[in-house]
Amino acid sequence: MTSPCPSRCARPARVLRRALLPMMVASALAAPAQAADLLTIAQDALQNNAELASARSQTSSVEAGRDVERADLLPQVSASGNLTHNRQYESQSTPGQFQGDDNVNRFGITLEATQALFNAIDSRQVERSEREIDQQLYRLAATEQGVLINVSSAYFEILRAHEVLEARRAQERAINRQLEQAREQFEVGLIAITEVEEAKAAFDQARAIRIAAESDLQVRFEALERLTGQRYESIDALGEELAIAPPAPADRGAWVELAMQNNPQVLASQAGIEVSRSAVEIARAGRLPQVNAFANYNYSDSDADGIEGHDSGSQVGVGVSLPLYTGGRTSASVRQNTYRLESSQYDFEDQRRSTIQDVRSSYTRVTNDVSTVEARAQAVVSNQSALDATRAGYEVGTRNIVDVLNAEQNLYNAIAELASARYDYVINLLTLQQQAGTLDEEALAEINAWLDGGSVDFQLPDEMESDPVMDIGERPTP
């Protein structure tokens, strides 16, 4: 993408570099030899993010569920056996009649095999499991894109916090110099003590703002650590020559169409309709007959007196069962799942409408960000000119120190707002791509090419060392 304001943005960029040059040089000297970039951190998140790992395990579980349902359509073979000892206690006997053994051991074994020839319920359950896999794969894709946008947002929030902090540090130093100058002028009797107090109050406020900005930077680094499970002492910074341009294609309707075709949440919701429809078919299949082929073999033997040999037998046949009346269960199940199908259709419509609104809103934000960055850049130029004029007036006595302090605060506020607007543009652009379903590593690689502005270095406290990556204890073995 090409920048729509190359000439008008050049002067604000020079002003920004002049205001922040000492901090940028110090950061460059303190930065490590190699910093992590956006693409590297995103790849770390795809490997180590706990939410994504859970979604992948859930997908494997759903895929295994298909084999569970399919097993009912395959041959079922079972074996059973028994070994018994019988002892009889008799005190009566009939003269001349043979008395059998009162201690008998018996052994028996049964082998049985069945094969479903027609079972509509099991067949439709397999179809439902296939559709559940499709739905889960879309959910997994949505989770992956969610991780990418969360990591990208966390990454650029760090850079935003860093640039804002640099502006606040520069503001504090500038006001501190103004305070020292005011004290010197007061000592020689050129100004009143009230102007010194005004400068002191402005310095205290600038110091408080700088402390808050430092805290925000630390919090942003920790948020990135939570997403990736790793700690980064340094990351690549965004280049100053960022191409600020409207999204391509430059048509809101085209982005909506992309979202309807590619947004994984929309596709998952649409797949949920098919899952619910399969449940209705399973309920209706409860009225159909079931046909099974079967074969079995029996063997038994005992050591009873007077009995020799063993008994055995086998059967082969086909069995048919037809439910005639189930107390209204089948009809009620059909009604229940029909309402669930209707609910899933409304859920899809709600997701579709929500996605359309989100895409339209994100597109509007990105296009507005283009104008906002340009306006913020011009505001830096205007505030720099206003500060120069105010300082000149202060030197000749037409302006007081309060005017100078206000002008300095306005300038550095404009610098911080310009930095924030640039990152709003990047984050909103990535959000638009996520809602359109086109956010992937390739899209991040294009954004990654913009990172040529040095590095941001930050060291978290030692006592906040994180736990080992993905420390979930002993993993189960399937």
- Residue 307: band (very low, low, confident or very high) from pLDDT cuts 50, 70, 90: low
pLDDT of residue 95: 61
- Residue 353: band (very low, low, confident or very high) from pLDDT cuts 50, 70, 90: very high
pLDDT of residue 460: 56
Q: In the predicted model, what is the mean pLDDT of residues 206-220? A: 91
pLDDT at 465 over 70: no
Is the Cβ–Cβ distance between 136 and 185 less than 8 Å? no
* Crossing angle (nearest 10°) for helices 193-228 and 120-187: 160
pLDDT at 93 over 70: no
Comparison of pLDDT for 294 and 464, the residue scoring more:
294
Comparison of pLDDT for 350 and 404, the residue scoring more:
350
Say what percent of the chain tops pLDDT 90. Answer: 62
pLDDT at 6 over 70: no
Dihedral (Cα; 354, 359, 360, 361), 10-degree rounding = 90
- Residue 96: band (very low, low, confident or very high) from pLDDT cuts 50, 70, 90: low
pLDDT of residue 15: 38
Locate the domains of the chain by residue range. Answer: 6-83+118-290+330-450
- Residue 230: band (very low, low, confident or very high) from pLDDT cuts 50, 70, 90: confident
Choose the weakest-confidence range: 244-258, 297-311, 319-333.
297-311
CATH number of the domain located at residue range(s) 6-83+118-290+330-450 in this protein: 1.20.1600.10
Alpha carbon distance 3, 374 (integer Å): 10
pLDDT of residue 470: 64
Q: Which of 16, 1, 25 is nearest to 417 (CA)?
A: 16
Comparison of pLDDT for 103 and 61, the residue scoring more:
61
Question: In this structure, what are the phi and psi dihedrals at residue 301, rounded to the nearest 5 degrees?
Answer: -155, 155
pLDDT of residue 86: 84
Q: In the predicted model, what is the mean pLDDT of residues 104-130? A: 93
- Residue 264: band (very low, low, confident or very high) from pLDDT cuts 50, 70, 90: very high
Alpha carbon distance 157, 223 (integer Å): 10
- Residue 436: band (very low, low, confident or very high) from pLDDT cuts 50, 70, 90: very high
- Residue 234: band (very low, low, confident or very high) from pLDDT cuts 50, 70, 90: confident
- Residue 354: band (very low, low, confident or very high) from pLDDT cuts 50, 70, 90: very high
pLDDT of residue 91: 57
Q: In the predicted model, what is the mean pLDDT of residues 245-263? A: 93
In terms of Cβ atoms closer than 10 Å to its own Cβ (0-12, 13-18, 19+), residue 164 is buried
Choose the weakest-confidence range: 128-137, 193-202, 282-291.
193-202
Q: In the predicted model, what is the mean pLDDT of residues 429-442? A: 94
pLDDT of residue 99: 52
pLDDT of residue 469: 61
Q: In the predicted model, what is the mean pLDDT of residues 209-220? A: 91
pLDDT at 161 over 70: yes
3-class secondary structure, 253: helix
**Residue written as token pair 């063993």:** 310
- Residue 301: band (very low, low, confident or very high) from pLDDT cuts 50, 70, 90: confident
- Residue 371: band (very low, low, confident or very high) from pLDDT cuts 50, 70, 90: very high
pTM tops 0.85: no
pLDDT of residue 221: 87
Q: In the predicted model, what is the mean pLDDT of residues 45-54? A: 93
Q: In the predicted model, what is the mean pLDDT of residues 402-420? A: 91
Question: Is the peptide bond prior to 249 cis by the omega test (within 30 degrees of 0)?
Answer: yes
pLDDT at 1 over 50: no
pLDDT mean across residues, the chain: 86
Alpha carbon distance 375, 9 (integer Å): 9
